[in-house]
Chain A
């Protein structure tokens, strides 16, 4: 604020300076918090980074007995489960947003919109429990056998030399990578739907009316006018959802199977960074290499989340400026 007080305007007022000082310090605390999290995670994981070098990131080993640790399995588990979740939740979330902004009867839009936003607020542990007690058994008895039967024709790489055959084979155990992806998808769906709807609603109605006036159909207006106008923000909304999925702990821990090894199929129990950290932390002694490895994993997750979330914010901000 640049207003000048009438009296003693040039004199520094102590209370005023104190007040503003506190506010600025609070702002600095935000910056310090982020910096401190990064620094503490890195310093606590340094032991592991020094021992295994940068190869820590792509080494597939997790052997607490011999103190050998590598991040490949949880890193792949994190990226793959989030990718599955995004591939499901993105189109469905867009479907919900399209429905809520275009085809849904007017009187239902507000209540359904609120319902979706409320669903986004449910604690993730509830989604995890549902995944474990309800979805996993169905996956094991019905969904996985069904998919396997219909994907027999997919090429399968030799399993002896190269254990990586990323297809729908293997024992349908219920908990594993695919189930984790499904539960994550369901968990981030309300969030992606709500943010996508908000983004679609920012399109000026004049733009849409222009499209209709030129004889475009509803679908053409949305894909040809609305989406190009808000493309950046749409990606931002999805990246925010991705950021959630990457760092999600409870929903994943229940259903990913918690086997810290490279998944040899979509069904295989594996682990994500967050689930490994939550699961193995209780058995990691103070000062042990294992604890250092867990912190190193945490550092990796933080860096990845930071990049994704920063991209999301930049895209959303760009969209806001254009609109």
Chain B
């Protein structure tokens, strides 16, 4: 910018240009919001049309026989739950390592960098990977393999939020604890972790939201199924896979069920996101 003594007509021209660009950006923003709003409207309209109590009570059935998505919902709950059960402790440990032990060491920098890559790595490739290291050796597609894939996707999310949150805990907390003669491990477990608890919970909720909608990795791991199954070593249904199969089928009623399923999963994911925000506010106010 070369700001000379203000040339009146030039200044007016610049003001007008700025106002025009304000307008262009505003229109771009409104246009985008309208498109995104349209998607949500379509989802709600088509989803509500296919929504019925039997969606939550009946398992998937062959076309023409009604049926719902209950087994897929249960399958998603099982696999997401197990994925978090494995991924959360691992992710938290990584986050604690980065924030409390490794800090700026070379190893920690490498772990931080790689974790950020894993955070956005294509989930379809995690599916291929788990296919090769779990499905092939165990002899078949299974809910267990699906859970492992989801755990690998949850881990980096939780590691990232855990580290970020623990870094926000004031250094004086740690110094206070150490001054009382506590060991590093005691300081971390009894002082830093409790102070960061709310934030870590936020990260876990976000990870649940992220993995419960994952479709691609499950194609290669838990495959999908028409039956209720709690057997972790056999193929297991999941909501995203059921939506994928039904939406690409030629049967109208399956497509309706797919929309209803998509609505259910979107509402679930958005609720989890809102919950995680509320948790975060609650946690930061408490402090």
User: Could you tell me which A residues sit within 8 Å of B by CB distance?
Assistant: 1, 3, 5-7, 13, 15-16, 19-20, 22-24, 26-31, 33-34, 36-37, 40-41, 44, 91-96, 98-100, 102-104, 112, 114-115, 117-119, 121-130, 132-134, 186, 189-190, 193, 211, 214-220, 224, 240, 243-244, 246-250, 254, 274, 277-278, 281-282, 286, 294-295, 298, 301-302, 305-306, 309-310, 312-313
B216 touches A278 (CB 8 A): yes
Q: In the complex where A123-B215, A249-B216, A301-B122 touch, is A216 in contact with B3 (Cβ < 8 A)?
A: yes
Contact partner of A301 (CB less than 8 A), chosen from B17, B125, B133, is B125
A220 touches B14 (CB 8 A): yes
Cross-chain pairs A/B with CB under 8 angstroms, 29 sampled:
A3-B178, A20-B185, A24-B101, A24-B102, A36-B129, A37-B125, A37-B129, A41-B129, A44-B128, A95-B28, A96-B29, A102-B25, A103-B25, A119-B36, A123-B265, A124-B215, A126-B266, A129-B247, A129-B262, A133-B247, A134-B39, A190-B36, A220-B1, A254-B247, A274-B124, A278-B124, A282-B219, A295-B132, A305-B122
A186 touches B219 (CB 8 A): no
A34 touches B117 (CB 8 A): yes
Contacts of A91 in B (CB 8 A): 28
User: Could you tell me which B residues sit within 8 Å of A by CB distance?
Assistant: 1, 3, 6, 11, 14-15, 17-18, 21-22, 24-33, 35-36, 38-39, 42-43, 46, 90, 93-94, 96-98, 100-102, 107-108, 110-111, 113-118, 120-126, 128-129, 132-133, 136, 152, 155-156, 159, 174-175, 178-179, 181, 183-185, 187-188, 209-210, 212-216, 219-220, 240, 243-244, 247-248, 255, 258-259, 262, 265-266, 269-270, 273-274, 277
How far apart are the CA atoms of A94 and B115 in the complex, in Å? 27
Q: Provide the main secondary structure of the chain B interface.
A: helix
Contacts of A19 in B (CB 8 A): 184-185, 188
- Give the A-B pair count, Cβ closer than 8 A: 269
Supply 8 further A-B pairs (C-beta < 8 A) apart from A126-B39, A254-B247: A27-B102, A34-B114, A34-B117, A95-B32, A130-B39, A220-B1, A244-B120, A249-B124
CB nearest neighbor in A for B39: A130
